[in-house]
Structure 1
């Protein structure tokens, strides 16, 4: 929805006088990205762990077996 609103404003020169829209749009996009990040971590924990270990230097948890990727969720449409 945020993208549609921004397209209306930018591409179709929708006259938006209230400057609060930009702050709300940014907050809504951030919330959406956080929700999507959590979903991807749940569906593909192996990649999440790899990023944390290789890119951020987090030690892999001792004695912890990383759950397998849920390929069905990653490939559903």
Structure 2
């Protein structure tokens, strides 16, 4: 006996189809991005922004303090 006949004979509703992962909770129907992919994009870009901020701080410390202390260059505002 097939699954559909067994469910019908027992008075059960038809089986629900599993949602296609490509169709799962899209932001916009014609845009192939899901909400999970949007959240992942936000996480990655946030991490990248913090890495960029850290790199900028390190660069500033090198230019302002380490370079002049090591004699690599002199600052224009220092006499």
Same topology, TM > 0.5: no
Structure number having the greater helix percentage: 1
Q: Of the two, which has the highest radius of gyration?
A: 2
Normalised by the size of structure 1, how large is the TM-score? 0.39
Larger relative contact order (CA 8 Å, sep ≥ 6): 1
